[in-house]
Structure 1
């Protein structure tokens, strides 16, 4: 340190050859050396300590307050030590290590109480086992008897607690462990019976609620759940009630989804089906309505399959395939979808109509093996396509023959086209060929008859008109010119009726204004008599009697007030003749024609009869 302060090291100092010169001394360094503390001597310290000790001893023995304080401290310490030894508790016995055959009764009771304090069935039974061996003459026998009764009741209470916590099996097992001594054992059977009864009632209510949920009757389920609150069991009143309430809430939501899905399915349409499937698919497999949800899902899938089939019937292959691909796997229609797709593509080939397309379609349909959902339909289509393939050859032949003007070729064309079935994709074309050829043939056959009838009717007399009507009656209403012939027939019938009405009017004298009322009354009486006679004759029920009744009623003058009644009877009896003719037309066409020809002109039945007569005549020609 002196080196740092610029003081030369005297030990290493060497004599210098130069003249000695004193180096200047730094004043600050000199002052620091001067103020540095010097260590005290050890004898002086000991003297100070001894001096202080003598002073304290002198003060202690000279001051009475210090002596009293010292005495109290010593006395208190001794007293505390004595009390600690006096009240020190004996060591707690180690019950598990005790050899019980040599243990005292008090020790047994002590260890039994320790075990019973754990309040478990096992420990309570162990406590009872420890004390139940005391003989009746033992001074502690009454105490042990009381403890056994208490602990047995605690075991039964533990069973009740287990029952209230929802552990029926544990409760019964615990109750059966109650020792067969004391009053607690007499309660065991009743307790177990009560527990089982309560549990059975609760389970019954729970099952009823579940059954109601499966039937989608959540209101009844809610009622049954409410009855759980009256069950004398905490577990059923709380845990199971809440569990059932949650299930009812969830099932109610699922029921709402099902109802909405059903409405969407009933509304129809691909979009509605898809939305219904989405709703039903959200119902989990733990739901009480899961099975019904699967049924609704299958129904939606089937409706989509029907929708695809309808599109296929319209020959809309693209839509059919698009719909079928959107059927979910959950609908359990995978095989149906696969088969439908195969058949749809096959039918698309058939629509082209060429023999090669039919062969390709048949080959595709044959891929659907036996046991598949669409196997039977595939076999039906294969048989139909083979038939249609042959029909296509007949249609080609009909096309060629229809170009000819020869009657025999045209008839052959009709026969060839008639062999094309209605299920054939080309059936419409075949029918058009038939209709066109038939119309041409019928026009050639019936046009001369219409022209002939027109020429005869132009004469204007009653006989000519009747003859024209008879000629037109040969043309059936179902033939190409049937409508035209019927119109002309009605026209000529109207003209004929007018002529006959005029003839009747001219044949009867006109009533004079000054005519005698008695004469008019006589004419009315005569008309009534005529109608009465006609009714009597018609009552015979035969064709001849009815025809005669018509003739009699037609004798009533047109000017007579009784003519409307007479005309009504004529129309009624004419209809009766028509019904008779129609009833025997199949067995006796000639007889039916004869009856129909007796129906008078101008009645509604006459027009119908004239339409049917040509048909019956065709039956005669066959």
Structure 2
């Protein structure tokens, strides 16, 4: 009985024991602890021989048995030794089976992990292989390319360098691919690149020839190798360029010779021939040659006119001839002849100037000498006179404007430097020293005034007062006294502007709202500026504008009312409303214009029916009646001109009709026809 009970309780369903904690306790129980199990008290009896043997419990047994209850042992319920021995014998086979299952489980888990790891390793290796196959190899470093590098890498670097479009890189690329044999793996691609690069080199050569660089064009095109597809084209271009260049040079040289000899027609023929050349450079030279022909003609005309003036043999004419000849362009062929004659005319003018100087007429001498160009071959006295006149001209620059400037200072410094070069032995030395003292004094005053002007340029009251004090140091006996006084007056006005500008600025700020009180406040603020101040005029202009705005604000309602009445057809009431705007007000002219327009509309409305009636009478044949009706429109009315034009037309038509009646009523044979046979209707005339 005990064995059967434990077979049902422990040994028949091993899987259930492994799923519960209580089962785990049974699986791991030791024989020594078996007495702790709370087992039911069963009566012990000898085995019944007649009872059926219990089935053996083994591996794979499917005998169902209820789960065993495990509880804390109690002393009162402790099993007897015989019962414990029987329980141990029953429980040991089930515990051994459970231990074997636990020993088999780690091995199964290890094989699963090993299989999973193999799968992960295979996937990883496949991903790495795919990445390696789809990723491009790293590009070569063209900055550190080796001469023994692979041809593909060298070709790649050559292509990258040629992207710049520069001639040296293109030539280097051609040299690289040109040395590869026909059986080279990259020969097909190299031929395509050679054709493209050769075309690029030929384009560079054409650009050079268009910019007047025949040697550069020939040199560039010569880099195209014989195995290039466009080698023949490049050689033909070189030959064509050389031929056309020689033709162009010949034509241009012939044109220059024709211009020098004044053969204008022949020069024009060369221009036409140059224009027919294909090279754009020579077409440009043809345009330049056309302009040169015109310039040469003008230069020749100026030279002829200058020669005619010089033939008069008087100083004034010589000066005019020199001035005209100096206008000739130095690049013209006529300048060579003009330069020679300029020298002759200048010497003649200087000779006349020296005579004037010797006669004591220094101013006339200086005036003559200043017209002559510089000449290093002059005599010492003539050279001194030229230097003195040049110094006078430089010193005159300081008298051009009242405001000091660095140009005035530079002119006086140059004048002093020029006059100091006059030798003491010259007759002009004493006069030059006198002028030098005067110019030195002017320079001193001008420097002081320039510093004062720089101080005044800051525009502040203090800086302006400082400038005035500096300028007042120029005494009454100084050469720049008048200029100093002018500057002082100007700077005092600037001080007034600095003082009064805030009032005017404040007045404009007050006027910004545009209301009548704001405008009146602005007028009051601007009126603070006294009448004799510099900004009074500007203030008066602003005050007038603000007064006009006030009048506009006051009178605008009258004008708006008048326009509203006019839109409703009440023109007379509109005129009465607009006449409220008095003469001299800001809107007076606008109101009067509107009044004139409304009066015109009234007159048209009144007179148009009269004129329409006249038109109707004229259409009916009553011209005299139409004239009488249209005459009712008085002078000065809006339709008066139209009425008078219609009346004039109707009178002409009436005269024509009357003349035709007289012709028809005249007797054909005797006078009795008019008196007896034709009855004159007195009322007929009245109709016309």
Bin for the TM-score computed over the shorter chain? 0.3 to 0.5
Normalising by structure 2, we get a TM-score of 0.31
Normalising by structure 1, we get a TM-score of 0.34
